[in-house]
Structures are given as structure tokens and as C-alpha cells.
Structure 1
Amino acid sequence: MTAPLHEARPGTPDTQQGMRRRNLSRVMHTVAAEGPLSRAAVASRIGLTRAAVSTLVDELIRSGLLEELGPQRPGGVGRPGSALAVSGRGPAGIGAEVGVDHLAVCAVDLRGDVRARAVRHGSNRGRRPAPVIEELTRLIGEVTADAHGQGLRPAGLAVAVPGLVARNTATVVRAPNLDWHDTDLAALLPSDLRLTVDNEANFGALAELWLGDGAPADFVHVSAEIGIGAAVVVDGRLLHGTRGFAGELGHVPVHPEGPACPCGGRGCLEQYAGEEAVLRAAGLEPGTDRVGLLAERAAAGDQGVRRALSDAGSALGIALTGAVNLLDPQSVVLGGALSRLAPWLLPSLEQELSRRTAGPACGIAVSRLGPEGPLLGAAHSVVRAVLDDPAAVPVSA
């Protein structure tokens, strides 16, 4: 995990109790980012006395958030100190993803390790929300039971969905590729877990920020699969927009008089660079591994597939030009399933950005997380909430 920016929690009063909560968070984040560490090493890194850190550490050990690994003598001199590590038992983040053609759930412990996982492949397009969420709930139950068997207890549930989610709610306002409208997932999901629901591109961007290979503090993350979403990270923070709808890159018009889109518009980016659009342009039939088929054909030199991917890259570049000119990000990160097709997408994408942006073109990076980003970002968002406010975590399930 990357080292955090240690800040006051929004709304936390600057009182002794508030300072204690912030310092507990500082200890947790430091050990999570750099551990195992001795108490003295933690004290040195966060600028508190050894006695103050010991008091905080003892509380975190009693809560099951930290554990002692035994004596450690750095450099072989001096009195040995007990090495501290984030506990591999206790709270865990449950992440879930509703995709157009799959459902997935995983459990991540405080160390950031995936400890349990369940996936169901199959189309959800056009299905009503209730039966889909019923299936998802069964997967959540399987993963939670597996986690319990390993000494973990869920600290919360975060769900990634391919659609617009009203800010600070669990309501999917519109998910065009699922044909869902005004769906309150809080009414359908288990009520015993603290719930967060957000757009899959937002969770993918958070995963890139926390788990990626040195993601900058300012970037645009493109999550491209059947649909195309984007998320904007500014100064290390996700930009949601007033209503929570920021980042709908897939419905930016590329050719205003182009084909109709499920969103109600015409000529949207998804109609040129989404998985199904690329398959149509390449003359291929959809299969169980659409992106794998495209990658295989492109690598084999299929000119029709390569041309379709080049055209998709051009469309992506056109749509991204507005975001780059408006936001001036340090980079654009290509994630999702289409990140596997980067060798054939990037040349035309970069060419469009280079000739259309007002200033020097920003860098283009390819996410190593690929389609795993949204699910991992969802689970890690729960873990980060524990690290941010360990005092709020119940000692037992």
C-alpha cells in the first residue's frame, strides 16, 4: 500500500479525542505502508514520542488491527524491539462488482491480500436488478463465509457498478448497458454491512492510485470494456462532481450524427471504442472472451482487427482531448479489459491527443491491474476506511 497523506478526518473536531483518532490512523497507515516496524521506528516516522506510540499501538493490538511478530534488533545492536505488522486476521474489506457479463466478489485483509474470491460469468444485460443482486448476495455470502473461516470479519461492503450513482447514496440512477434506472441497491443488498456503491471507473481509479505502479496525483483513468467510463483524480482525490456523475467519457459524442446509443444520444464514444463496437467493426462474433479474441487476432496480424482497434484508439483520443484540455492531467491511464489491447490502440490514440491538445500531450500509461481494477478498488476502499479511522471499527463481529 502507498503511504497516505495524513490529514484530519472531515468533521472531526480538533479535540483530544479527535487527535487520538488521527494518531491511531497515522500509526495504522505507517505500519501498513512500511511494516514490519518497531514502536521506535513508528514514533520516528510520525513524530510522536515512543510512550505515546506505545499507548496507541497497545490499543490497536487489543482491537485486533495490529499484531506483534516478536523481537527485532535493527542492525544487530541495541535492545531488541517487537516488530509490528498489520494483522492478517480481523477486519476485511468486501468488494463486489456488477458487470454487464459477470458478477464478482472478493475479500481483502488489512495487509492488502485477497483472501477469498467468487465469480459468476453470464450476461446481466436486460435482467431486472432484483435477481441479479440476489445472485450477487449469494456470492457475497460465499466469500464472507470463506473469510470468517480464516479469522476475518467484514468491515464493510463496496459495490462497483457500470452506471451513474447518485453521490453519497446507493442509488444507481442509470446504467444504460444494464438498462437499470433509479435502483436503490441498499434495499436489495445485505443490511448488516456498511455499504458503499460507486461507478466502476471510480473504483478502478482508486485501485490505480493505491495499488498501481507509481500513479501520479493527477490523472484521468479510462476503464474500457463493453461500456467506457472514466474517473478523474486531482491532487490524489477522486473528483465526483456535484451529483456524483463525473467521468461519463463513454457518452461523450465523437461523431454527433453517428449511431444511436443506449443512453439516448448519438455517436457516443462507446459506439466506436466499446468491446462490442470493436468486434462489429472487425467482423467478429461476440464470444466468452471477446478481448482475448481481439488480442489473438491482432497479434496474428489480422488487418481487419488491427484497423478496428486503430479506429477505436482514434475515437478514444478524440473523446479524451476535451478532458485533457480542460483538466491538464499529468497522465491518462488506460485500464479495464481494453488495456490488454494497448499495443494496437495507443498509436492512434496518442496521435489524436498530440494533434488536438492545446499544450504538450500528457503521458499515456497502461494499468497493470486491467479488468481487476474496479473489484480491487472496491475492496480496498473498505480497507482504507479502516486505516483512516481504526477507532470506529468494532472489536468483534
Structure 2
Amino acid sequence: MKSSLRAYLLSIVVACTVITACAQDTKVTDADMRDRIGTELGTVERVTVMSTDGQEVSLDLPEFLKGLQGQGKDLQLSNDPLKQEDVRFTLVLYRKQVAPLVVSVGEKASKFGENTYRGAGAITFYQWIHRLTGNGLLAIKSENILLSADDLSLSRMLAVDETAYIEKVLQVAISESDQNVNQHPLYPNYRLRIDSVERPLEVTVLTPTLISIPFGRERHFYHVDGQMFSRLTEYLVPKEKTTQPIDKLFKSTNIRVEATGEMRVNNLDLDVSQSTVEQGMAHQAVRLLKTGVQLVDRPQQGVGPEEYRLHFRVNGKDHTVIFYSRHFRINDSWYAHNQLQKAIWKLIEPTQK
């Protein structure tokens, strides 16, 4: 039964009839399974992946069918069903004159019909479909591109030649196999809104050589030519906001956490120049501070005891943020916030592990 079980597990995406046969412990030879699979795959006209929010991406059919032959190993039929909240995307195989085959795919399990499959093969299957989906996301023809710099509150529609350049760079982008990249966008947080006939695409420029694209609950990362970032700085030139004092903190080279008050934090030094990861964390901390609401005067009540201090080193000078439960202070300026001190510590804390 072991060899036929492996073959029937491939039926996650090719044959409901095989599931019935295996469930009844029917003897199925490898030759029978190859014939069955070949027949079923021969009826497939199109393969797509749907995100949890309704986006649909077409996969390269020849590449999918070729790679499918390597799937279906090290899987087990599971009594623990795949929960809807654990579904990452849905694989749909459209066939000639018959209903499509639909597979719900999670990070550690897949569901076909009423059956859920787990094991190392389910993890491999998810990673494979994730990679194919990433390739499919970039296979679009741009109609226009809106470039934004979120930290500057600026945006502009790119010209035809600029759009063509961005499209060319994305077409040769290389997928990052690590799906848990811990990188926040660097200042000025460039984003590309790409409109096309197929679907809109939102691209976040994380670093000069790394971008990300959301797809439902998934996020895909790609390596790109660093020249693209230089072009973006020409298309939308970074300019410091002189009217916003917090914006100067984007230029910090060091962030120091000082445990001076009620909140349980550790003294911590973050060298922003160490890597883009630390630099992205620093920039994200500044973005969180910018969500605070500046007050005209010092709050008359409800300030409470100090919780901790955050020191930003800019051009050799420290700019200190003093946190209270619902307020923070920079020099003589007061701001109201909602649990911001916890969000910033949660952001920075992993760097000491």
C-alpha cells in the first residue's frame, strides 16, 4: 500500500477517484496511477492560485505540470482538518469540460475535498506553490505606475519610459526563498502601485536591492537591481520636512533604550549602521512616533510616571523621547499616543536575542 499511497497523495491535485480507491484500501499499481495521473493532467487547461482576499494569479502551466511530478511524497492523511484561518491560498486546476480541481493550501497542510494531508510533503508542496505564485505575480504588463514616498507624503505618476524601466527590472527580479524576511522599509519608504489589465500590484521597496509584494496572507520577497533605487530617488527626490521635528530622527545612526521608569525594558544599544535590518527598525520606530498627536501644551492631568527613554543619535547629538503611559515628550513638545511605548519596544527587543 505504501507505493500506491504515495501515488494517491499526488491526487491532491489530480483525481478524486484515487482518493476513493485508497480510502477503501483498493490495490492500485504504479502503472495504473501513472496512467490515471497522465489522463487527469492532460485535461488541465489553466492553473491559478487565489489569495485569501480574492486575488487570482495564473501559473505557468508547463512549469507547473513538470514540477507536479516531484510532489506527492512524504504525506499522511490526517484526522486534524485544515482550518480556514490556516489557509494561505487556494490552488485551482481548470479542466476541459469538467469541474475544476480545488486545493486549499496551508503552510503545513493541504485539503482536497474532505481530506486533509500533512507531513513533510505538505510543507514542500506549500513552498513550491508559494514560489510559483511569486513568479506569476510579476508576469504582468504595466499600464501605469504610481510612485509614492510614504515618509514624505509625496507621489507622482511615472512617465512612459520610467514605467518601461521599472517593468524591465521587475521582470528579471529573483525570488527570495526565505519567507520570513525581517526587513522594514528604509526611508523614504518608496512604494509602486502598478495598474494592469490582470490586476493591481503593490510593491514595497524595502532596501535598494529588496522588494516585497503582498498576496492575501502571504508576502513575497524579491531581489532586484540596486540601480532601480537610484532611479527612484531621481523620480521622487527625498526632501527633509523642516516643519516636522520628528522627521530628522530618520537620520539617526544609533538608538539607545534607557530603562528609567515603570515599564520593564532592558538597556539596549542599536547600531543603525550595522545593516539594513537595524536601519529599517530605526526608521520604523520613527514612523511609529509620527503617529503620535502633537499637543499645544503639556497635559494637565493623566501623564503618570515615566516608563522609559529612547535616545536617537543624529549628527553626534542625542534627541531624547520620554515615554509615559499615554504621552511622550521630545524636548518641550508633548504628544498623545495609544500604547506606542509597547509597540516600539516590541519592534526593537528582538535585536538583543
Q: Give TM-score scaled by structure 1 length.
A: 0.25
Structure whose alpha-carbon radius of gyration is higher: 2
More helix by share: 1
More strand by share: 2
Q: Give TM-score scaled by structure 2 length.
A: 0.27
